[in-house]
Amino acid sequence: MERVPVLVVGGGYAGLSAATLLAWREVSVMLVERHPGTSIQPKAFGVGPRAVELLRPVDGLEETLSGIWAGIGDTMRIAIAQSLADPNPHMIMNDEQEDLAFLTDLTPAALVGAPQAEIERVLRLKAEELGADLRFSTELVSLEQDEDGVTALIRDPDGDHVVRADYVVAADGYRSPLRELLNVPTSGKGDLGRMCSIMFDADLTGMVREREVTLWYLRNEVFTGVIVTGTGVGAHVLGVNYAPGESAADFTDERCSELVRIATGRPDLDVQVLDKATFGLGHVLADTYRSGRVFFAGDAAHTMPPTGGQGGSTALQDGCDLAWRLWLVLTGQAGPDFLDTYDAERRPIGALTADAQLANLGVRMPPAARAGYPEPLDDQAGALLGHRYHSTAILDEPGDDGSILENPRVPNGRPGSRAPHVVLDWDGQRIAISDLFGSGFVLLADRECGQAWMDAGRLVKERLGVGLTRLLVNDELMDVEGVFRERYGVGGGGAVLVRPDGYVAWRSPDLVTDPADTLERVLRRVLSRS
């Protein structure tokens, strides 16, 4: 029998990000994936800044991701049209760079324009480099839980093996055999149809570069679907919705080539079909993200239509989020009940995002539209960086409205919010305040009257055995723009506690009578320690 603290089932975005961030935190992790490797289909395109924020503490990861394929991130436009040759496309985004320019004031993390296949490849290499045990062509056969752990039977080409783990991350996809095995109920609109994804090679020069539209939602007499283009010559992807009665067998290479010509409006286009895959469109939400010692992430937790491009980013955030929570519990810094905060915080965000994608589907890809679809989100900034959390790991302030979405353009630093962006000077080097987060808790205070909090942090760190970095702003770290106090809502004597995920867990606007006692009580509550 093999033993490992964490067993991850599934080698997509959620599973690979969990394995990478666990290995980075020196937690032994085994990942099993039934396919022989990561996907060759581009699948989802682009990763939002919040997911990148969670990945960027791992040395070299953000730079590698940003460098793989800059095309979409630099020139993305979105339109609804009959084909790429449509003279009057309806533009959803006329100038993506202008629409997203506000992000540079809110985060140092860049939008990554790479396809999912490339990002998965990078995550796999990084996880292996960090020591994660990744096993492809290996599937989970069965699983049993008890009070002390999980016993799993896995099968690879050499036969069956038994693995004993403390916890399991179920990142096993849309159908999620683990979700079925554990009888986890679901809600949502369910199956919404199927789509064939056609990866093809063609010369689109003169159609892509000049028009600068990267994502086209297509509606014509033959099909509804979506085409994601690269820049000019190379690989592109066309997704076509199944018509009633169609099956995968209907999408021969010849028909796929013809569909590409219809999509591009070029009946004479030379097309080479590189790969085909079929997948279901769905809106399926797990009613709980935890079943005993098993935690659901990615599509296993929230299957959503691709319209809006946030499904992949949400899956990556799930994996990263589980990694730091499991690390705290496995190292004894947090109590076992702390893991309940994963469901409390991430499930509302998963539902919000899935509903937003469903709303986009109804608008962008009829005839999928039907009665009862939610309205699209108006606030793009809030959807990208304005999520709020509520759980026992957040000490809400009196009068908190319980909202799960806020405008990040107006940072407030209240508990449950993402820690606001501040530019700091550290010994002549400009850094973002988020560069301080990731490896543990961070206690921040202004130099004026802040030393009392620093002394308290040192005492509490020793008493509880918790990773806690104590930093005085305007001491070694200089607030370049003079906005720290305002954005974090702390006076000269206040302090703020930021979690490893860069979210504010607690703050005190002013200095208190006994900072050490206060901080110890706060950390015990946040970490579910009696």
- pLDDT tens digit sequence for 153-194: 999 999 999 999 999 999 999 999 999 999 999 999 999 889
CB 85 within 8 A of CB 265: yes
Per-residue confidence band for 422, with pLDDT thresholds at 50, 70 and 90? very high
Per-residue confidence band for 517, with pLDDT thresholds at 50, 70 and 90? very high
Q: Higher model confidence: residue 229 or residue 227?
A: 227
Question: For residue 272, what are the β-bridge partners?
Answer: 201
- Average the pLDDT over each of 51-60, 104-113, 154-163 and give the range with the smallest value: 104-113
Query: pLDDT tens-digit profile of 77-86?
Result: 788 899 999 9
Residue 233 has pLDDT above 90, yes or no: no
172: helix, strand or coil: coil
Report the candidate in 520, 432, 411, 439 with the shortest Cα–Cα distance to residue 480. Answer: 432
Q: Return the amino acid letter for 526.
A: V
Q: Does domain 2-73+111-187+283-384 have CATH number 3.20.20.10?
A: no
What pLDDT does 361 receive?
86
DSSP H or E run through 120: helix 116-129
What pLDDT does 74 receive?
46
Per-residue confidence band for 70, with pLDDT thresholds at 50, 70 and 90? very low
For every residue of 460-472, DSSP letters joined together read HHHHHT--EEEEE
For every residue of 187-252, DSSP letters joined together read EEEEEEEEEEEEEEEEE-TTTSTTT---EEEEE-SS-EEEEE--SSEEEEEEEEEPPTT--GGG--
Per-residue confidence band for 218, with pLDDT thresholds at 50, 70 and 90? very high
Catalytic residue (choose from 167, 217, 289, 389): 217
Query: pLDDT tens-digit profile of 326-342?
Result: 999 999 999 999 999 99
Residues 6+ apart with CB under 8 A from 400: 390, 414, 415, 416
Per-residue confidence band for 324, with pLDDT thresholds at 50, 70 and 90? very high
* Domain definitions of the chain by residue range: 2-73+111-187+283-384, 386-526
Q: Which two tokens stand for residue 296?
A: 């659901």
CB 114: neighbour CB atoms within 10 A?
Answer: 25
Is position 342 annotated as part of the catalytic site?
no
Q: How far is CA 518 from the centre of its chain?
A: 33
Q: What separation in angstroms does the CA of 433 have from each of 167, 186, 297, 378?
A: 32, 39, 28, 28
What pLDDT does 230 receive?
64
CB 339 within 8 A of CB 290: yes
E-strand stretches of 36-185: 45-47, 78-81, 90-93, 112-115, 133-136, 139-145, 150-156, 159-170
SS (H, E, C) 316-375: HHHHHHHHHHHHHHHCCCCCHHHHHHHHHHHHHHHHHHHHHHHHHHHHHCCCCCCCCCCC
User: What is the mean pLDDT of the segment spanning 99-117?
Assistant: 80
Per-residue confidence band for 369, with pLDDT thresholds at 50, 70 and 90? low
Which range, 32-41, 211-220, 292-301, 308-317, has the best average confidence (pLDDT)? 292-301
Q: Options 3.40.30.120, 3.40.50.2000, 3.40.1180.10, 3.40.1280.10; which CATH number does 386-526 get?
A: 3.40.30.120
